Chains A and B, each alone.
Chain A
Amino acid sequence: MRYQEYLKDQLPVIITHALSMLFCVIFLSAVNVQASITLILLIIWILVTASYINVRFFSRKRHFAELLLQLERLDKKYLISEVMEYPILTEDKIYYGLLKAANKSMIEQVSESKRERKEYKEYIEQWIHDVKTPISAMKLLCENNKSDTTRKLMAELTKVSHYTDQALYYARSENIEKDYLIREVSLSEMIHAAVAENKQHLLQNHISVEVNNCDDTVYTDEKWIGFILNQLIANAVKYSKKEPKITFEANSKQGQIVLGIGDNGVGISGTDLPRIFEKGFTGENGRTGKSSTGIGLFLCKRLCEKLGIGIAVTSESGQGTQVELYFPKGDFVKVQE
C-alpha cells in the first residue's frame, strides 16, 4: 500500500474537513472573532486530522503486510481465509465473509473435478486391462494360424498393444511411484524382450537389429524400461529410411551405465531437438505425415525422471537419432519421489 494511493482513498475525508474549515472561518469572521484565534483553531484542527490520517495509514499498512506475509508462508494459498484472523472492522468482516464463501465453493468444485478425474482414470485403467484379453486372444490366433496375412495382423496388433500401454502409463504417470519394483535386471534381457515384442513390426519393415556389449545389469524397474524401449523402437521404425537399422550398445562411463539406442532414420532437426520431450510436441517429422501424437517421448522423459534415469537425445537431420539412457551404477539406487 502506497501513501499516495491511500491519500487518494481518503480524499472525501480531506475535502469534508477542508469545507468544514472554510465554513468555520467564514462564521468566525462574521461574529468578529480575532484572526489569530481562528488561525490557532485551524492549525489544531489540521494537526489532529492529519495525525488521524497518518496513524490510520500505518495501522492499515501493517495489517495488510501481515496478511500478505501469512499468504506467502502458506503452501496452499487458497486456504488463506481458513488461517487469517477474524477482522475487527465491519468492512473487513464483509470481505472476509466473501472470501470464505468464494473459497468454499471453489474447494467444492475442485474436489468434484478431482473425483471425476479419478473415476475416469480408473475407468481407463480398467478398460485397458479388459482390452488386453481380446488382444491376447487375437495374438494367439495369429500365432496358431501363421500366414502372410496373420503376420501383417500381428504387426498391427503390436501397434494396438503399444498404444494401450501408452494410455495406461499416461493414466498412471502422475502417481507412478506407487507402482515400481526396483531390482537387478539384465540389460540384454530387457532389450531382447523388447525386440521380441516388436519382432513382426521390425521384420515387416526390414529393419536389422544389432545388440552390442549389453551384458551389464542395472537396478531399475523392468516394466517401465520395457515400455521406454518399446517406445524408442516404435519411433525408430516410424521414422526409418533406406536400409534401416537399430543398434543397442551399452558403455560404462563415469560411474554410470549408458545404454545407447541408435537408428539411421530421418533424424530430428536442430530446431525441434530441444522440444521433443514436451507434451504434444510433434515437430517437423510429425507434420510430414507420420501422425505423431507427441506423447511417447514425453512419457519416456517423465518415467525416466521418476526412476532417476537420465535420458538424452542427439540427432542430425537425415542422419539418424541416438537416444542415451543413463543408469546410475551401484548396489543401491534411490528412486526419486
Chain B
Amino acid sequence: MYQIMIIEDDAVIQEELSVLLKSNGYEVILPKDFFNIISEIQNNPPHLLLLDINLPVQNGFKICSGIRTFSNVPIIFVTSRNTDMDELNSIMLGGDDFITKPYNTPILLARIASLLKRTYASEHAEVLKYGGVTLHLENSKIEYQGELAELTKNELKIMVYLFRNAGKIVPRADLVEYLWDSQLYVDDNALSVNITRIREKLKSIGVTDFIRTKHRQGYLI
C-alpha cells in the first residue's frame, strides 16, 4: 500500500485529505511538527508527498529543495498560490506536479495515481475479480468460466467502479460522477441504458443477477 505524506498546516484540509486518501486506498502519514520534516522523511520515507507552499517555519520551496538533496520521491505541490512564477519555482526546485486550491479531488487523485504508477511500475495486474467474474482492463473484456464478452468504454468504466465497490451499494449519482471524472459525460438515462446492455452481455456469457438494482439506492454487485 502506498504511503502519502501530507504537509499542510490547515487542520481541516489536512484531516479531510487524509480521509479522502484513506478511502481511496492509500496510507497517510502526517508530520508531527513542522520543525523536523526533513529528518522525519529521512527516517520514514513515504512513496509520495503532498506539499503546501505557505507553511510555518519553512516554506514548501525550501522543504522541497531540502528533500531533493537525498531523495527522488515524487512531490506534488498543493497550494493556493497560483501565479506562474510559483509554478515555475516549484518545478525548478524539483516538484513533480503543481495543483492549485481549490482543487478538484478527482484531478488530484488522478495525478497522484499517475505519478505513483510512473514512479513505481505497477505491481497490480490489470484485472479485477469478483464472484467468479473477471474484468480484463487492458482489452476491455469480461470473463466468466472461459466465456468472454467485449465491453464498450462506458461499460468498462461502469464495471470498474462496481468492481472496486463490490459488496457495497453504489448510488447512481456516484456512478455518474465517476464517469464524468473519467471524461465520459453520461447522464442518468444513458446510465440505465448502459447497465441494461451490460446485463445482456453478462447473460450471454452465463451470468445472471450479477448487478442488482436497489430501489432508490443504486446498484450492487
Asked if A132 and B101 sit within 8 Å, CB to CB, the answer is yes
Contact flag A161-B102 (CB < 8 Å), given A144-B20, A144-B23, A181-B87: yes
A208 contacts B185, C-beta separation under 8 Å: yes
Contact of A223 among B12, B23, B84, B105 (CB under 8 A): B84
Q: A192 at interface (Cβ–Cβ under 8 A)?
A: yes
Query: Given A141-B12, A179-B83, A210-B185, A135–B177 Cβ distance below 8 Å?
Result: no
In the complex, what residue of chain B is closest to A164 when comparing beta carbons? B102
Q: Is A146 an interface residue (CB 8 A)?
A: yes
Stretch at the interface among A52-60, A68-76, A195-203, A257-265: A195-203
Which residues A163-200 have CB closer than 8 A to chain B? 179-181, 192-193, 195-197, 199
Interface residues on B, range: 20 to 34
B80 close to A (CB within 8 Å): yes
B177, A139: Cβ atoms closer than 8 Å: no
A127-161 Cβ-contact flags toward B at 8 Å (1 or 0): 00110111111011101101010010000010001
* Residues of chain B within 8 A of A135, CB atoms compared: 101-102
With A141-B12, A141-B16 known to touch, is A199 a contact of B102 (CB < 8 Å)?
A: no
Task: Determine if A139 and B88 form an interchain contact, defined as CB atoms under 8 angstroms apart.
Answer: no
| Residue contact A223 to B82, C-beta cutoff 8 Å | yes
B183 at the interface (CB under 8 A from A): yes
Q: Kindly provide the distance from the CB of B19 to the nearest chain A CB, expressed in whole angstroms.
A: 5
Per a CB cutoff under 8 Å, which of B13, B101, B107, B185 touches A211? B185
Query: B183 to chain A: which residues have CB within 8 Å?
Result: 192, 195, 211
A209 close to chain B: CB less than 8 A: yes
* List of B residues within 8 angstroms of A179 by Cβ: 83-85
B81 at the interface (CB under 8 A from A): yes
What chain B residues lie within 8 Å of A223 (beta carbons)?
82, 84
Whole-angstrom distance between the Cβ of B13 and the nearest chain A Cβ: 5
Contacts of A193 in B (CB 8 A): 104, 107
Number of A residues whose C-beta is below 8 Å from B? 36
B107 CB contacts on chain A under 8 angstroms: 193, 196
Evaluate contact between B103 and A136: CB separation under 8 angstroms: yes
Tell me whether A144 and B102 are in contact (CB under 8 A): no
Task: Tell whether A197 pairs with B84 under 8 Å between CB atoms, given A133-B13, A141-B12, A151-B173.
Answer: no
Q: B81: nearest residue on chain A (CB-CB)?
A: A129
Cβ of B80 and Cβ of A139 under 8 Å apart? no
Chain A residues in 8 Å Cβ range of B85: 179
Interface string of B178-197 (1 = CB under 8 A from A): 00110101010000000000
Q: Which residues of A contact B (CB under 8 A)?
A: 129-130, 132-137, 139-141, 143-144, 146, 148, 151, 157, 161, 179-181, 192-193, 195-197, 199, 202-203, 206, 208-211, 221, 223
Residues of B participating in the A interface, judged by any CB pair closer than 8 Å: 10, 12-13, 16-17, 19-20, 23, 80-85, 87-88, 100-107, 171, 173-174, 176-177, 180-181, 183, 185, 187
The 3 closest A-B pairs by CB, nearest first: A140-B16, A209-B185, A132-B80
